[in-house]
């Protein structure tokens, strides 16, 4: 059990109008959680205080060598006014496995959950009720040793901030256009692609920008060695429905083990679909698209939940999927998953936890 010191703010901020015009992740609540780590004492001084700027040394290692990790999960308000988290322990376990890969300290799972629940409870009035809206929870850890000497840091800060969000995509659940990247790569096996860490995003920005400028919303990454097999999309895992089977790239070591991905696999099997986790090449996709067997494509991730994909571009070839309309399975998964998250559908898998 953490003994959290709670200092409430004296100046509560006005809450924004949560509608489609709110840009994802740009507004933050009144409070944040912080605790500090040293290798001698472990985690100490857990506290909740006003959301405000923090002060750290310009030499803090995170600025120079990128030792950092983050998580992204959501809290939802049900029609009855209850607040619930979606699979928090899976996110917590993943944070600890990112920490392991990056030489960062573990956080006790129960303490981590207690920190989230206490903070969300204090700022519960910020949670929007609108369908598709939620409170985005961003826990993160940074290396704070004031040193430009390259070595694992001995001091860290763990912080949780909260952001009320509407739907991730301004256009709503309309199918997006995806650029299959055949020049740059995001991660390779043996690297840090499996960890949820800033470096992977830094590696992705240039392609992302190129794709945006060409009118595409995200990049689909290929494997870093052969540039042949599909990995994942920006901040989402990817699914294909081909010949009525659901296929998603297996966790090869260079892609993120998405909580939404895992939930979608369970749901598809529950719906009676055969699900294959395996390598899938762009060749196979192009062939399936040409033969009209590529029925649906969608991305999965906490931020967007489900994002239907209507167009895939590979080199000079452009493939339109399901006439750029959302597919039946995609819609059904979106409805079921958001229904469970918001408490409108029965939680058959026991995925939600009340705050
Ligand atoms: C967070 C993330 C995902 C999605 O994971 P969820 O647990 O479903 O939110 C996918 N890919 C990358 C690179 C990510 O950082």
What does the pLDDT read at residue 173?
A: 77
Per-residue pLDDT at 305 exceeds 70: yes
**Does 5-166 match 176-342 in CATH topology?**
no
Closest residue by CA, ligand 1 atom 13: 235
CATH for 5-166, options being 3.40.640.10, 3.30.470.10, 1.10.10.10, 3.40.50.10800: 3.30.470.10
Per-residue pLDDT, averaged over 150-173, amounts to 86
Dihedral in degrees, nearest 10, Cα atoms 146, 150, 153, 159: 70
Confidence of residue 236 (pLDDT cuts 50, 70, 90): very high
- The answer to whether the CB of 260 is under 6 A from ligand 1 is yes
What does the pLDDT read at residue 171?
A: 57
Of 69, 236, 255, best ligand 1 pocket probe by most atoms within 8 Å of the beta carbon = 236
pLDDT tens, residue by residue, 334-346? 999 999 999 999 9
Confidence of residue 172 (pLDDT cuts 50, 70, 90): low
Of 110, 116, 115, 108, the C-alpha closest to 84 is: 116
Per-residue pLDDT at 263 exceeds 90: yes
SS3 33: strand
Atom of ligand 1 nearest to the CA of 262: 8
Domain positions in the chain are 5-166, 176-342
Confidence of residue 39 (pLDDT cuts 50, 70, 90): very high
What does the pLDDT read at residue 168?
A: 66
- The answer to whether the CB of 73 is under 6 A from ligand 1 is no
* 62-63-69 Cα angle (round to 5): 35
What does the pLDDT read at residue 185?
A: 94
Helix (H) or strand (E) holding 289: helix 282-290
Write down the mean pLDDT value for the chain.
94
Of 23, 13, 31, the C-alpha closest to 120 is: 31
Q: Where are the beta strands (DSSP E) in the chain?
A: 5-6, 31-38, 42-50, 68-70, 73-77, 83-86, 134-143, 155-165, 176-180, 218-222, 230-233, 237-242, 245-248, 275-277, 294-301, 305-314, 317-320, 352-354
Question: Separation of 72 CA from ligand 1 center, angstroms?
Answer: 8
Give 48-51's long-range contacts (Cβ < 8 A, gap of 24+). 48/4, 48/5, 48/6, 48/7, 48/118, 48/119, 48/122, 49/7, 49/9, 50/7, 50/8, 50/9, 50/10, 50/11, 51/9, 51/161
- The answer to whether the CB of 116 is under 6 A from ligand 1 is no
What does the pLDDT read at residue 18?
A: 67
Max CA separation in the chain (angstroms): 63
Per-residue pLDDT, averaged over 99-127, amounts to 97
- DSSP state letters, 151-209: S--SEEEEEEEEEEE--SSTT-SPPEEEEE-SS--S--TTTTTTS--HHHHHHHHHHHH
- Pairing assessment for the beta strands 176-180 and 155-165 based on DSSP bridges: unpaired
- The answer to whether the CB of 193 is under 6 A from ligand 1 is no
What does the pLDDT read at residue 8?
A: 97
The CATH architecture to which 176-342 belongs is Alpha-Beta Barrel (3.20)
């Amino acid at each position: 059990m953490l003994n959290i010191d709670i200092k409430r703010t004296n100046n509560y901020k006005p809450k924004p109008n949560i509608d489609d015009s709110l840009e994802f992740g740009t507004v933050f609540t009144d409070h944040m959680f912080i605790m500090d780590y040293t290798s001698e004492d472990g985690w100490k001084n857990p506290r909740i205080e006003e959301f405000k700027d923090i002060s750290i040394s310009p030499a803090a290692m995170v600025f120079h060598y990128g030792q950092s990790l983050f998580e992204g999960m959501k809290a939802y308000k049900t029609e009855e006014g209850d607040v619930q988290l979606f699979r928090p322990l899976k996110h917590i376990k993943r944070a600890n496995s990112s920490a392991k890969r990056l030489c960062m300290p573990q956080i006790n799972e129960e303490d981590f959950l207690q920190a989230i629940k206490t903070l969300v409870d204090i700022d519960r009035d910020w949670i929007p009720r609108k369908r598709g809206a939620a409170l985005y929870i961003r826990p993160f850890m940074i290396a704070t040793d004031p040193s430009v000497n390259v070595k694992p840091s001995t001091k860290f800060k763990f912080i949780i901030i909260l952001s009320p969000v509407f739907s991730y995509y301004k256009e709503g659940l309309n199918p997006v256009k995806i650029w299959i990247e055949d020049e740059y790569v995001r991660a390779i096996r043996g690297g840090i692609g499996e960890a949820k860490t800033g470096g992977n995003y830094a590696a992705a920005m240039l392609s992302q920008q190129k794709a945006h400028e060409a009118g595409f919303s995200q990049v689909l990454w290929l494997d870093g060695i052969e540039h042949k097999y599909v990995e994942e999309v920006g901040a989402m895992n990817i699914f294909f429905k081909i010949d009525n089977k659901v296929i998603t790239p297996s966790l090869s070591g260079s892609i993120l083990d998405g909580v939404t991905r895992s939930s979608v696999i369970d749901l598809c099997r529950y719906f009676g679909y055969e699900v294959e986790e395996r390598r899938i090449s762009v060749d196979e996709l192009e062939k399936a698209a040409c033969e009209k067997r590529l029925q649906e494509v969608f991305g999965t991730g906490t931020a967007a939940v489900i994002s239907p994909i209507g167009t895939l571009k590979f080199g000079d070839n452009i493939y339109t999927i399901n006439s750029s309309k959302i597919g039946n399975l995609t819609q059904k998964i979106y409805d079921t998953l958001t229904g469970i998250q918001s408490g409108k559908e029965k939680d058959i898998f026991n995925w939600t936890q009340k705050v």
